[in-house]
Chains A and B, each alone.
Chain A
Amino acid sequence: MVSESFKYITATFLLVSFLTYSLVLYFHSPPPLGQSTESTAAGKLLWQKYNCTACHQIYGLGGYLGPDLTNVYSKKGIQHIKAFLKTGSNTMPDYHLSDDEIESICDFLKVIDASGNSDPRLFIKNSNGTIQLIQ
């Protein structure tokens, strides 16, 4: 048997730590790399509207039928992205996007590209199990 007061103290301690941690995370945002604009904000909502995440990953997160797009902007260039957005591919749907929509999505992918790198080859693996991006 565990004493009732011990249970309440442990639960309260965990709860307070959790709420504190949550608040810290809400208000201590990581430095925004890459300039967000109205167009990138619109791009993010379009990304959600068309559910690009079902097939693509950002920082490795998302569905797996298509490639990770975190750094597609710098690796393949804007023309390459536009080509895919205009016609789709064998698997990727053609969404019949307007030119404005295509611009916004490209701006969104540009900001993501500037925020960091998701290529696993660029991480050093430390002996204590942690990893570090090669600068």
Chain B
Amino acid sequence: MEPSSLSNKPNSYNYFVVALFLLSAGLVFGLLGALQYIIPGFLKEYLSFEKIRPLHVSSVVFWIILAATGSTLTYVQQHTKRKIYSSFLMKAQLAIFVFAIAIILISYIIGVFGGREYWEFPPLLALPIAIGWILFLFNVFKSLKGLRNQPVYVWMWMTGCVFFLFTFLESYLWIFPYFRNNIIHDMTIQWKSYGSIVGSWNMLIYGCSIFLMDKISESTHYSYSRIAFSLYFLGLFNLMFNWGHHIYTLPTHDYVKNISYLVSMTELLIFGRIIYSWKSSLTQARKNLHIESYRFLLAADIWVFLTLFLAILMSIPSINVYTHGTHITVAHTMGATIGINTMLLFAFCFDILKSKNNAANTNHKYSLISWAFTNISLLIFWITLIVAGVLKAKWQMAQTQIPFSSMMKSLQPAFIIFFLAGCALVLGLVAIIQRILRSN
């Protein structure tokens, strides 16, 4: 099962190099965006916020997508103990993604948009992304050969492959005037698809993390268990039906909101449970052998609890009405994409890219420091966003409101701490990225 049995450099190596590059770029754009919060008009002529925000969000979203597909392709091979169905398709997928992402980022820089939030690029560029994904799906399905007697992570990978494609295409229904011309209908379908897209890449990532946990503990006990499958189906149920918690104040059908409210509450049972019971079963020796990956799994575990706690509160409409439209939403989004997704992807990076006799891995002290520094910075970053959100929520609810611009000015101290914590976070993340690249 060791990655070295495939060859010293895994055939997914380039996926991770590109992914880590995009993450680094995303961090720079994030800092520039935060600066625009504290210095109004900063870089307005060249890279105003309507460019910086999509540059930041798309870079980090593609970090997640590339690292998640790269990890899945690697672990599929380790699971089947065979090479991937087609190395050519794997290279083609990466080439198409790199080509599309480069054009997307350039189009943002020169101010060419046309899409909607999170996919702001001109809709034509969605085509190569969809084609690249179809190659990925085909390759994974051909390699896995069906679901019979497979562990839960295989179900999760296949689910993630199919649902990403479906929901990504669904998020483009707006190109038909039938959907686009009724703005409320359009926003309903938009958030239906967005909610499920995130659930889809989470299926890939959580699948990989269960695979890795099996590998570390050398036991397949969990991945075939009743509890693992129950939580998988519960996760799938949420992916399909909980997205309405994004649009409680939108005047769309009441049943959309009621279904989401009920379904969201079942999230209370998800995921944390699996890692929790897995962790307590590990011996110290196994932990030490995989210490880098283990630490990041542990960090993700803590962030799962924090994020789920916040998410569940925000899924209650009468609380959501306060938090909606504030930086509490951003705290939730970045908390999940950094604390859970990025931490788990780092765990996979260390596992997949480490070579047998590397020196970097033995430098435990430095690795512990960068890990702890990143997580503490992230915690401050996250709390500051929540505080900024609470202050804005108070403003939104006040009977007599000061003007928007005065409110934003009064939040300056929070935004300054946000920026500083962001700088610390970037330092920590860059140290980790550097360690990953050197560990090969």
Contacts and interface: CB of A to CB of B under 8 A. Distances in A.
Contact of B261 (A1, A67, A118, A129): A129
B184 A57 contact: no
A131 interface: yes
A77 interface: no
Nearest to A116: B251
A59 B191 CA distance: 12
Interface in A1-34: 1-2, 4, 7, 10-11, 14, 17-18, 21-22, 25-26, 28-30, 32-33
Interface string B251-269: 1110011100100000000
A57 B240 contact: no
Contact of B188 (A10, A25, A45): A25
Contacts, number: 172
Contacts of B170: 22
Nearest to A124: B318
B248 interface: yes
Contacts of A10: 233
Given A25-B188, A54-B53, A68-B325, A30 B249 contact: no
A25 B195 CA distance: 15
A22 B251 CA distance: 18
A57 B181 contact: no
A61 B184 contact: no
Contacts of B324: 60, 120
B229 A57 contact: no
A65 interface: yes
A120 B50 contact: no
A130 interface: yes
Size class of the contact patch on chain A: 35 or more
B322 interface: yes
Contacts of B226: 1-2
A36 B182 contact: yes
A48 B261 contact: no
Nearest to B116: A48
B120 A54 contact: yes
Interface stretch (B9-17, B35-43, B87-95, B210-218): B35-43
Interface string B121-140: 00000000000000000000
Interface residues of B, number: 74
A118 B349 CA distance: 43
- Chain B interface, >50% SS class: helix
| Interface core residue of B53, B147, B404 (most chain A CB under 10 Å) | B53
A79 interface: no
A63 B49 contact: yes
A102 interface: no
B96 interface: no
A89 to B, nearest CB: 8
B422 to A, nearest CB: 15
Contacts of A116: 184, 250-251
Contacts of A55: 49-50, 53
Contacts of A21: 240-241
B325 A2 contact: no
A1 B224 contact: yes
B318 A57 contact: no
Interface of B: 36-37, 40-41, 44, 48-51, 53-54, 113-117, 120, 147-149, 155, 170, 173, 177, 179-185, 187-189, 191-192, 224-226, 229, 233, 236-237, 240-241, 246-253, 256-258, 261, 316-322, 324-327, 330, 393, 396-397, 399, 404
Among all A-B residue pairs, the 7 with the closest Cβ atoms:
A60-B325, A116-B251, A125-B318, A29-B185, A54-B50, A51-B50, A51-B113
25 contacts: A7-B155, A11-B155, A14-B237, A25-B188, A25-B256, A26-B179, A28-B253, A29-B182, A32-B181, A44-B183, A45-B114, A50-B50, A50-B113, A53-B116, A54-B51, A63-B117, A65-B37, A118-B325, A120-B249, A120-B324, A120-B396, A121-B396, A126-B318, A129-B318, A130-B261
